[in-house]
Chain A
Amino acid sequence: MQRLRCIFWLGLKEMMSLRRDWVMMALLAWSFTLAPVMEATGVASSVNNASIAFADEDDSPLSRALAAAFFPPEFQPVVQIVPGTGAAAMDAGRFLFVVAVPPGFEKDVRAGRAPEVQVLIDATAMEQAGIGASYIANILSAEIRRFAIGADLVDPPPVDLVLRSAFNPNRDAVRFAGIVALIGQIMWLTTILTGAAMIREREHGTIEHLLAMPLAPFDIAVAKIWANAAVVLVAGWLSLTFILQGSLGITVAGSKALFLLGTAFFLFTATALGVFLATLARSMAQFALLVMLTVLPMLMLSGGQTPVEGQPAWLQAGTLILPSRHYMSASQSIVFKGAGVETVWPEFLWMALLGTALLATSLLLFRRSVAQER
C-alpha cells in the first residue's frame, strides 16, 4: 500500500518537474497542436493540384473536350505546349503529366482506326504518378466513350462497374493524415518524455537520492511510466478533440473512448521503450539520437505512412512484433471504420503482450544500470 502511494507521489512529482522543463513543454505543445495540423493539411496523398500539359496536334472539338475535362482541385489549369517540347519540360520538372494528341485524332476515331493518345508521366513522382496515370486514363476514356456513344460509334457497355469507397466516400485525405499524424506524435512524445525524465534524474544526481530512500528501482520507473503516459494520454485526447475534431473537422467513426483505451495499451510499450533507451544512453544528447534511430523506423513501418501490404513478405512478418503496427491498425479500424472492441481486441492483446515483455526487459536493465552507476 505504502509502495503504491510512493509511486503515486513520485508520479505527481514527475508532472511538476515536466511543467518546468520548457524544452519538453515546447515540444509537447508543438507536437499536439501545430505538427498534426501541418501534416494533415500539408500533404495530399491522392492526386491534388497536379501539373498537366497538352500537346494538341489535332485541335478538333474532341481534343479540346479532352483538355477541358481536367480541372482543379485535382489538376492545375491545363497548359497548351508546343508539340515535341513535352520531354524537355518534364526534365525541368515543370509538368508531371503531358498528354499528346496526334494530328487527325477525331477523324481517326470516327473512322474506327483506334488512334493513340500518349500520356507522358513523370514516374519519379511516386504517389502522384501511379494514381494520376489511372486517373488521367479514366478521364480520357470516359470522355472519348461519351463522344463515341454520342456519335453512335459504339454501344453502351453491358456491365457497369459501380465503385464505392467504404468508410471514406469523399476520399478525404486530411482525415487520414490527421489521425496518422496524431498517432505518430503520441509515439514520439511518449518515448522522449519518459526517457528524458529518466536521464534528467540521472544527470541531476537525484536518482541516487531516490535510491537512498526506501524505494526500489521498479517504483521509480513505474512512477515515470504512469505519469508520462497520463500526460500523453490527456494531451492526445485534447489534441483529438480540439485540434483534429475541432479545428480540422475530422470525424471519428467509432468510439473515442475505445481509441483512448487502445492508446493506453500502446503507451505501456512506448514508455517502456523510453526507459529502455534511457538505460542505454549515457547523456541526453545520445538519448535524443537513439530515439530518432528507433522511433522513426517504428513509425515508418507501422502502416501509417504507407500500407503494410507494400512491404516485402519477410518484412511484413517482422513488423508484427512492432507495437506501433498494432496500434496503427487498431486506431484506423476504430477511427475510420467504427470498429468495436469485438474487432480490435486481438490488436489490444498484441500490444499488451509486447508491452509487458518490453517493460519487463527495461526494468531489468534499469535495475542493472543503476547498480553499475558510479
Chain B
Amino acid sequence: MSAEGAATAIRIVDVTHRYRKHAALDALSLDLPTGQLVGFIGPDGVGKSTLLGLITGAKKLQAGTIDVLGGPIDDPAHRRGVSPAIAFMPQGLGRNLYAELSVRENLEFFSRLFGQGQKERDIRIAALLSATGLAPFADRLMGKLSGGMKQKLGLCCALIHDPKLLVLDEPTTGVDPLSRRQFWALIDAIREHDPELSILVSTAYMEEAERFDWIVAMDAGRALFQGSPAELKGEAEDLETAYRRLQARGKMPSAPDVVPDKRTDAEPVIVARGLTRRFGDFTAVDSVNFSIHLGEIFGFLGSNGCGKSTTMKMLTGLLPSSAGEASLFGKAVDARNRELRREIGYMSQAFSLYGELTVHQNLQLHARIFAIPDQEARIDELTERFGLNAHRETLAAALPLGIKQRLSLAVAVIHRPRVLILDEPTSGVDPEARDSFWALLVELSRGENVTIFVSTHFMGEAERCDRVSFMHAGQVLAEGTPGDLIAAEGADSLEGAFIAILEAAEPPAPVAAPEVSVDATSAESGGGVGRAAAYARRETVEVLRDPVRLAFAFVGSALLMLVFCFGITLDIEELDFAVLDLSQSPESRAYISEIAGSRYFEPTPPLESAAEGRQRLTAGEVSLVVELPPDFGRKLRAGEPTEVLATVDGSIPFKGETVEGYVAGLHQTFLDALARDSGVRQPEIARIEPRFRYNQSFESIAALAPAMPAILLIMLPAVLTAVSVARERELGSVTNFYVTPTTRFEFLIGKQLPYIAIAFANFLLLTAMTIVVFGVPLKGNPVPLAIGALLYVWATTSYGLLIATMTSSQVAATFATVIASVVPTIQFSGLLQPVSTLEGGAQTIGSLWPSSYFLHLNVGAFTKGLSWEALGPDILALACFGPVLTVIAALSLRSQEK
C-alpha cells in the first residue's frame, strides 16, 4: 500500500527492534512516499522514536531492512553517503543542541559539520534566522530560550544543509498552541519552497494529524493504519476518536462525562493574590490571582516555561513567593507549616516517584511518612481502585507511562488530601489512559469533594475542567469556564480562543521560507579536518563557559600539587622521644645529649618506668623510647660491654625505619667520640661514602615535585575528556555524531584537542610551580621535556576517551577513570617504588603504562639534568601510547545507538 502516484522514499520491511525483552518495533513493514509530509501518530512508547532513529541511522538496525533514499541504511557506505541529505531533530526540545552555545554558535557548528564555507554559512544562517524570527536572539544562549524558540532553532539546525529528508521527532510536544501553529506555518512555507522535500514527523497530538499527507498510526510497535487522514477519519468525528477506535479494535470507549459543577458559591479553598516569583531579575510568575472553590476542577493552561509549575510549587509551599500571598483553607501557605501539607496531594511534572522501588514499596513509603492508620488496607484499596493490582511487585521504573501516572496519583491521594495539585499529569500518556485518569479525577472531585488544580497541554482535557486559566510569560491572560472563554473570543474552539488571546498579548513574528541564493552554495570545504575542528571549537567554547570544569582543570591541579608536595614530604625531623635513665651517670647523660642535640629528635619529660614508656608510645606522644641500664656508667668506665635499649614506634613502617636509621647513626657518633676520649681500640676500619645522585641534599621535595605532574596529568585530563564524551551521550547531543557525516576519529579527536591544550597548559603551570613554589631548578633541556609532556597528555586524554566509550554515564565515567588512572599510576609507574624494583606482573604493567615513562622523563629532566640522548627512549615510548589508545577508543566507540 503506497500513496498513489508518489515514489517510495523509504521502504521498511519486517523491522523488529528490542530493548532487552521489550519489543519496541514488532515486524513492522511500511512504504513511505517521497515529497510528502508523513505523520506518525500514537502516544509515548509505541515505537515512533525508535522507528525514526532507525530511519536516520541514529540507531543500529537489529532485524529487517530499511531502504532510505535508494539504499539500505545499515550499509555504512550508503549511510555515510546519504547522511548529508538527511536531517534529524530528535525528541525533547533542543536535545541535540548545545545549551552553553548561543543561537548563532549552534548554527555555525552544524554548518561546519556539513563543510560549508564561511560565505555560504553566513548567508544561510542569516536567511534561517530571519525566516524564523530568531534574528533578534542570535546571541542568546540556547539554554535560555523558550520552548518555542528552541524548537525553531532545532529546525534551523536541521535545515542548514538543505536536506532531502527531514525527520522531526515530536517537534511540538510541550510547546504552546500559538508556537505550534507558527511551526506548522513555517513547515508549510518550506514545503512550498522546496516541493521535493520529504518530511517525517511524529506527534502525540492527534489534532495535528489533520495536516499530514500520509498518516501512520502506531500502537505497540506495529502500524494500526497507514493512509490519508480522510481514510483514517472515516465516519468518526475527529482523528482522536478514530485512533481510539483503532486502538480498541472496534470497541468504542467513551470519554468520561463531567457532571457540571453547580456550586459556584462554595467556599474558596485555594486563593492566590498578587502571587509573584522572581529568580534574579527574571520574573517567572507575575501577580497571579485566582480563587478555586471546594470540589472544583480548575485547569491551568500554558506553554512550557510560562510559570505554571512555579505557581504550583508556591501553592504547595515548595517555593516561597517573592510577593503576594497564597492560602489554603484560609491559612497562608508557609514552607515551615508541615501540618498544612497533609491537606495537599501533589504530583510534580514528569514522573517523580522512586523508579528503583516497587509499586507497593512506593505506596508503603508514603503511607508510612503520612502515618496513615491501617496502612495495608489503604494500600490494598488504592491498588484495587487504580488498577495497580497486576503491578504490585513491579519496579516503578519498569511500568508503562500510563500506569506510572496512575501510581503517582495513588501516591498523591494516599493520605486522603482535600486538595490535589497536579502538574501536567497526563503529558505523553495515550488517550485511553488519559480517559481513565480523568475518570478518577472526576470521581475524586464530584464524589469526595476534593478540590483539583491541574495543568495541561491538552485542549481536550482543558475542556473538561470547570474553569480554566490561560497563563503566558508569567501572567494569567484569561480565566473563566471553557464555554465563556470561547464565546468571549468568538472562537470555534478552546484552542482558537487561546491563540486569539496569545496573539493579542504578543503579536507573533512573521515566518517565511528561508531564501538562499543558489550561487551561495559552495563545494564541500574542510572535510574531515573541518568537522574535527568544528567539534574542537565547540568543545573549547563549552569548557570555557563551564566554571566548574575549568576550575577543576586549573585550580584543581594546582591545589593537588600543593597538597601532595607539602603532604608527602618524607623528611621527618623534630620527632619526640623520651628517656628512661636508670644509670643517672655522666656517661648516660652524655649519651642522651647526643640524641637530644640532634636535629632529628626533641626531648620530652623523662620517664619513671618502662611501663610509662610503653604507654607514651601507645598514645603516640613519643616515637622513640631510650632505656639506659643502671650499670651503664659503671660498666662503660670499667671497659665492660654494656647496652642501650631503643624502642621505636614501628606501627608506621616507613617512619619506624627512618627513626631506627637516625638512632643507629647517633649511636655510632657517640661510640666514635668515646673512642677518641678513652683508649678503646676503635679505629676507623673503612669509610662508607653515600653519594646521593641527582639530589645531593637528599630533600624529598626535589624528587617529589617533579614526580607529581605524572599523576596529575593523567588523572585530571583523563577525567575531563571522559566526562566530555559521556556528557554528550547523557544529554543526547551525541545524536549529531550519529546522523551527520562525522566519522569516529573526527568526533574523538575533535573532542580531545581542547583537552590536550588544557592539559599542556596544566603541564606548564605545574612546571612553573615546581620551579617557583618548590624551588626545584630545571637542570635538563626543556625542549625534550615539553615534547614528552605533549605526547603524554595526548596519551592520557586518549585513555579518557577509551574509558568514556566503555561507560554509560558521567558518574560512571568519572569514577572509572579515577580508579583506572590513579591506581596503576601510583602502584606501577615508579612513583613510590621504582619500576626496576617491581616484581613480575606489576613490572609488566609498569612498563606498559605511559606514566612510568613520563615520570622518568620529568624527574630526569629536572633533577638528573638529562638531555636529548638520555630522554630519547622515553619520548619514543610515549609517542606510541597516544595513537594506539586513540585507535582502540575509536574502535570501541559506537557510531550508532543500540
Contact = CB atoms under 8 A, between A and B. Distances in A.
A85 interface: no
A27 to B, nearest CB: 6
Nearest to A137: B688
Nearest to A9: B368
A159 B368 contact: no
A289 B338 contact: no
B814 A289 contact: yes
A154 B316 CA distance: 93
Contact of B864 (A91, A211, A216): A91
B259 to A, nearest CB: 29
B582 interface: no
A111 B738 CA distance: 84
A288 B856 CA distance: 30
Interface stretch (B339-347, B490-498, B744-752): B339-347
Given A196-B811, A307-B655, A208 B313 contact: yes
A131 interface: yes
A122 B834 contact: yes
Contacts of B614: 166
Contacts of B694: 122-124
B664 A371 contact: no
A289 B719 contact: yes
Interface centre among A76, A204, A339 (most CB of B within 10 A): A204
A43 interface: yes
Interface stretch (B8-16, B178-186, B635-643): B635-643
B460 interface: no
B823 A158 contact: no
A310 B353 CA distance: 51
Interface residues of B, number: 147
Contacts of B559: 293, 297
A300 B567 contact: yes
Contacts of B838: 49
Nearest to B279: A374
A207 B715 CA distance: 33
A172 B653 CA distance: 7
Contacts of B591: 159
Given A27-B815, A112-B683, A214-B341, A124 B642 contact: no
B344 A212 contact: yes
A245 interface: no
Given A211-B318, A213-B370, A141 B688 contact: yes
Nearest to B866: A91
B577 to A, nearest CB: 12
Given A96-B836, A164-B646, A208-B318, A38 B661 contact: no
Contact of B815 (A23, A121, A336): A23
A336 B691 CA distance: 35
Contacts of A158: 636, 639-642, 671, 674, 680
B863 A124 contact: yes
A96 B837 contact: yes
A78 interface: no
B369 A288 contact: no
B692 A117 contact: no
Interface stretch (B30-38, B144-152, B222-230, B568-576): B568-576
A315 B566 contact: yes
A199 B877 CA distance: 42
B651 A337 contact: yes
Contacts of B683: 112, 114, 153-154
Contacts of A165: 647-648, 650, 656, 660
A35 B820 CA distance: 11
A339 B649 CA distance: 13
Contact of A130 (B371, B570, B575): B570
Given A46-B654, A51-B834, A91-B870, A162 B643 contact: yes
Interface in B809-824: 809-812, 814-815, 818-819, 823
B354 interface: yes
Contacts of A336: 651
B353 A206 contact: yes
Interface string A266-286: 000000000000000111111
Interface string A243-274: 00000000000000000000000000000000
Contacts of A214: 338-339, 341-342, 369-370
Nearest to A343: B619
B652 A176 contact: yes
Given A134-B661, A163-B646, A213-B370, A114 B687 contact: yes
Contacts of B370: 213-214
For the complex of A and B, 3 pairs with smallest distance between CB atoms: A165-B650, A336-B651, A123-B695
14 contacts: A16-B357, A38-B823, A108-B686, A112-B683, A119-B688, A128-B833, A158-B680, A162-B646, A168-B650, A168-B653, A213-B366, A309-B575, A315-B566, A371-B320
Interface of B: 279, 284, 310, 313, 316-320, 335, 338-339, 341-342, 344, 346, 348-350, 352-357, 361, 365-366, 368-371, 395, 548-549, 552, 555-556, 559-560, 563-564, 566-575, 591, 614, 617-620, 623, 625, 636, 639-658, 660-661, 663-665, 667, 670-671, 674, 680-696, 698, 700, 702-704, 707, 715, 719, 723, 726-727, 809-812, 814-815, 818-819, 823, 826-828, 830, 832-839, 842, 856, 859-860, 863-864, 866, 870
